[in-house]
Structure 1
Amino acid sequence: MLIDGQPDTSLYNEDLAPTTPAARTWSTYNYIALWFSMSMEVTTFMLASSLIAGGMNWKQAVGTILLGNLIVLIPMVLNAHAGAKYGIPFPVFVRASFGTRGANIPAILRAIVACGWFGIQSWIGGESIAAIIRVIWPSTMDNPAVVWISFLGFWALNMVVIWCGLQSIRFLQSISAPFLLVMSLLLLGFMTHKAGGLGPLLDMPSHFTSKGAGIHFFFLALTGMVGNWATLSLNIPDFTRFAKSQESQIVGQGFGLPVAMTLYSFIGIACTSASVVVFGEAIWNPVTLLGRFHQPLFAFLALISILIATLNVNIGANVVGPSNDFSNLSPRFISFRTGGLITGVLGLLVQPWKLMASHTNYIGWLVSYSGLLGPVAGIMVTDYFFLRKTKLNLEGLYQTDGIYRYSSGFNMRAIAALLAGVFAVFIGLVVPELRPLYDYAWFVGCFVSAALYLLLMRSLAEPTVSEPIGVTE
């Protein structure tokens, strides 16, 4: 433990404690592998495919994806800094801006969204298992019970991995990332061969009826790209707290995120474009796409890779964060494992099969929750970099009567800024003339909340800071 003062047990347990130097073992490769394993999975494929289904050509889709991921890389690396420097997870880090009790508000917002993602990924994993079963036993093709049994089975598998702890995630990602890359490239080669080469795919034009329609869809899609990683851009300290150095996480993420997302998105774009040539329709779900072919061995291997990828990203992106968030509610009674089990149960309650019913539902889901998380990101970055200059009082983060107590544990300025950002986004759903505010949800919420928070906090005295032992620059 790296803190000198006595932590309050209502704010502290071993899962929320700062990591020790011995626990900081994640290298640059681990962060590259993290992003490759989390990017090379079905939802990335679907996100890219939805752009083709929405009317873009491949150049427009790849450009939108690259730009969106370069944008989200900024808050990702900035919020990661505190994790690498102080060894603290997201729910502890956010206490600096929202207060020791107020931190539960953004933590639960982020956790609820992650539970939704957990449900979506579990449904995809279940579909993959069901598809594998159908390859082996074609007689199960029309039996709906197979999907539901597979879904619940994959959900249970996730619970087992959660129980094994965080280090099992690092092991899974390290060995699976190269395998997933190879399998993805094989899928690309197979689909382009079926379509008669890349030429017919790359020559396909966009399908927008007007320039205005194309511009509107571009900004909606860009918001979806940023929203895709809006959750992880907040709780990235949960991973960077294990970094060997600041350089490890910056270089690893700076290379891994944009390269992995753009590469795998191109595979999704090319495969969806190929489905138009081969089947006459844009098939955005790779599990459905693989089900159209009658080559059992290839389909089996491809679906196994989807299953591994889905398990990786579900645990890494959708369990670590909310498990810590729920633990932060009551550290004495909720451990990381218990928080993971809560995540799993809530993931069932969101009814992910409805969110995955169409590509429009999927994009709408991304845009909507980005309006909740963008404001949190704006407040966190503003507080840590512009107000505190990356200096935190580590002991105060674990004390109810410390520097981050504010008003009974709540920083009302942060809460006011959060509400203003959320209001600015969702007023677009009520007032038709303000619809662009909702369409650009993450950007609007982030900048409104950041600006208001900075304005409100300027009235406070410069916060007291102290450098803890073992800080990693």
Structure 2
Amino acid sequence: MKKSHLKSPDLLPIHHKDRTITKLGYSFMWVGMVVVLATFAIGGAGVKSLSLPWVILATVIGSLAIGFFISLISDIGIEHGLSFPVYMRAPFGIIGTHIPSITRGITASMWFGVNTYFGSTAMNGILNILFGFDNWFVCFLIFAAVQLINTALGIKSIERFADLAAPIILIISLWMYVSLSDQATAAGREVWSWVESPVTGGAAFSAFLVVIFSNMGFWATLSADIPTISRFIKAPKNEKNWFKRNRASLIGNLVAMPLTQTFMIVIGAVSYIAVLNADPVVALQKAASGFILAILLLMIVLAQWSTNTAANVVPAATIFSNVGGPKFPFWAGVITAGIVGTIVQPWQLFDVIIQVLLFVGGILAAIVGILFADYYLLRKRRVNVTELYENHGQFKYMGGVNLAGFIAWIIGAVASYFVPNYGFLVGFIIGAGVYYVLAKYWWFQKYPQAEIVDPSDEKYLGISVGRDWVIEENTYETVMEEIPNNVDLY
């Protein structure tokens, strides 16, 4: 007898009473998550070819589009209280879930490292101003440790920090914009009309689309595993209306995120216009000094902290915990995320960040498409949740693998690779389409799914029918071992 590998306490469905993130709290989490180095980089890259108003329009379009996809996938967590790696057992199998999940976990860990490096340079700047200390790597290690401890304390600790950091971030961001704009004017560049290398016609349209899909690719990672966060969002019981049930998620994804994303893109663009560098830390160090500079850099530190805990460490730690099983708790996953985020040497990654965004966005977009097809088109939001935690249940498929999911993922990812500028859209559509056809007309014919055969709301819906999914975590699986012939049983 051994404890079931699928029933780690950190991966069980979240009950209604344990959902603590409010509408405001979720929106504040978005404020912090958006302020990252790569966001500024998109703005800086955009104004090389387009004027700032066109960059803003493309950002709004891209942010609203990805916010819509995030909201769709969020319902998995809100309706059933399930995390990303657990629900992935449905389209990929109880064993197969580990491969795409680990892909996302490593990506999240890499982003943790990149953001920690960005924040550590700002922290180093503050310490240098106040105390003459100058060692960014020591700052990196300290900053990483503080963030990991904050995450290990749980989702409520993360929300409380976001509530504290978000107003400070917004106030300092406004100050930062004014400072950078003045610096650009002093350099003889008009913020709203300056373009480094103007393009027209088809080239302008292509540049416009690159900004749109860079914004979409940027959040493709979170759109895949948003259930890991959304399962903690407060939602009304017995609410069948999708929009009312997901109200808190929609406000964060379609209001707070697009507004903050657009403003930070503007700061990155203005930073580039001012000093030809999209990194506002570099720009501000040329424009300010002393206590004022320290305050501006504090915003960068707070923002990276808020971003990493919610958008990177929580998803990565949950995924690593899922792979490790009951003996590998959430806090161990947090430490693993920190180690991976450090050994990839994130200080070497910034120069290729846009290309990485587009490439990874396409790969993960196929997973988002598969999740959408599985949850909405095939199961129609009904999920046989208890079977997700059973080693020999309906999600075991063929040796624990759903081939329909893997084939769709490979085809969608490869297709997105050949059109990187439009990777998210191509990956999503092809991933969803291929999975729907293969699952409906092939795989689920071989392996019938109870919620599809009997689409009962009362049996297979969650919070919208007032249900908290209860999984008996202290159950065990029997391990059969062959008894040697020469053993005396008596």
How does the TM-score come out when normalised to structure 2?
0.85
1:173 correspondence with 2:162:
yes
Where 1:405 maps in the other structure, the secondary structure is: coil
User: 383, 396, 401: which is aligned to 2:387?
Assistant: 396
Q: Deviations over 1:152-185 (max 9, x none)?
A: 2212222222332222101101121111101100
Paired position in structure 1 for 2:479: none
Give the superposition deviation at 1:331: 1.7
Matches within 5 A, 1:449-464: 449-459=431-441, 460-461=444-445, 463-464=449-450
Paired position in structure 2 for 1:106: 100
Give the superposition deviation at 1:262: 1.6
Paired position in structure 2 for 1:16: 11
1:174 partner letter: D
Q: Measured at CA, do residues 409 and 18 of structure 1 come closer, stay the same or move farther in structure 2, by a change above 3 Å? A: same
Give the superposition deviation at 1:315: 1.0
Paired position in structure 2 for 1:287: 281
1:320 correspondence with 2:314:
yes
Where 1:242 maps in the other structure, the secondary structure is: coil
**In structure 2, what is the Cα distance between the partners aligned to 1:153 and 1:244?**
33
**In structure 2, what is the Cα distance between the partners aligned to 1:60 and 1:169?**
35
Where 1:202 maps in the other structure, the secondary structure is: coil
Aligned 8 A contact 2:224 2:365 in 1: no
Aligned 8 A contact 1:8 1:398 in 2: no
Paired position in structure 1 for 2:332: 338
Q: Measured at CA, do residues 93 and 8 of structure 1 come closer, stay the same or move farther in structure 2, by a change above 3 Å? A: farther
2:256 partner letter: G
Unaligned 5+ residue runs, structure 2? 236-244, 465-490
1:442 correspondence with 2:461:
no
Moved more, 460-469 or 152-161: 460-469
1:414 partner letter: G
Q: Measured at CA, do residues 440 and 252 of structure 1 come closer, stay the same or move farther in structure 2, by a change above 3 Å? A: closer
Matches within 5 A, 1:325-404: 325-356=319-350, 358=351, 361-404=352-395
**In structure 2, what is the Cα distance between the partners aligned to 1:91 and 1:131?**
38
Aligned 8 A contact 1:46 1:286 in 2: no
Where 1:201 maps in the other structure, the secondary structure is: coil
Paired position in structure 2 for 1:216: 206
Matches within 5 A, 1:44-443: 44-52=39-47, 54-137=48-131, 146-196=135-185, 200-205=190-195, 207-245=197-235, 246=245, 247-273=247-273, 275=274, 281-356=275-350, 358=351, 361-426=352-417, 428=418, 437-443=419-425
Q: Measured at CA, do residues 425 and 199 of structure 1 come closer, stay the same or move farther in structure 2, by a change above 3 Å? A: closer
Give the superposition deviation at 1:367: 1.1
**In structure 1, what is the Cα distance between the partners aligned to 2:267 and 2:291?**
20
Give the superposition deviation at 1:208: 3.2
**In structure 1, what is the Cα distance between the partners aligned to 2:21 and 2:308?**
20
User: Bigger radius of gyration, 1 or 2?
Assistant: 2
Give the superposition deviation at 1:60: 1.6
Give the superposition deviation at 1:129: 1.3
Q: Deviations over 1:243-287 (max 9, x none)?
A: 2213222233222221221233223333433x1xxxxx4220011
1:203 partner letter: S
**In structure 1, what is the Cα distance between the partners aligned to 2:180 and 2:112?**
29
Aligned 8 A contact 1:20 1:470 in 2: no
Give the superposition deviation at 1:210: 4.6
Q: Deviations over 1:299-340 (max 9, x none)?
A: 000111110111110111110101111111122221111111
Paired position in structure 2 for 1:3: none
Paired position in structure 2 for 1:434: none
Give the superposition deviation at 1:441: 1.8
Aligned 8 A contact 2:361 2:423 in 1: yes
Q: Deviations over 1:2-59 (max 9, x none)?
A: xxxxx9721111110111221012221122111112123443223322322x322101
1:463 partner letter: Q
Give the superposition deviation at 1:226: 0.9
Q: Deviations over 1:214-257 (max 9, x none)?
A: 33333333222111111110111111111221322223322222
Paired position in structure 1 for 2:470: none
Give the superposition deviation at 1:395: 0.3
**In structure 2, what is the Cα distance between the partners aligned to 1:17 and 1:373?**
24
Where 1:151 maps in the other structure, the secondary structure is: helix
Give the superposition deviation at 1:137: 4.9
Q: Measured at CA, do residues 294 and 425 of structure 1 come closer, stay the same or move farther in structure 2, by a change above 3 Å? A: closer
Taking only the aligned residue pairs, the percentage that are identical comes to 27
1:377 partner letter: V
Paired position in structure 1 for 2:467: none
Q: Measured at CA, do residues 178 and 381 of structure 1 come closer, stay the same or move farther in structure 2, by a change above 3 Å? A: same
Where 2:190 maps in the other structure, the secondary structure is: helix
**In structure 1, what is the Cα distance between the partners aligned to 2:79 and 2:416?**
33
Give the superposition deviation at 1:374: 1.0
- Give the paired residue count: 443
Aligned 8 A contact 1:62 1:266 in 2: yes
1:374 partner letter: A
How does the TM-score come out when normalised to structure 1?
0.88
Give the superposition deviation at 1:294: 4.3
Q: Deviations over 1:90-112 (max 9, x none)?
A: 11111111111111122111111
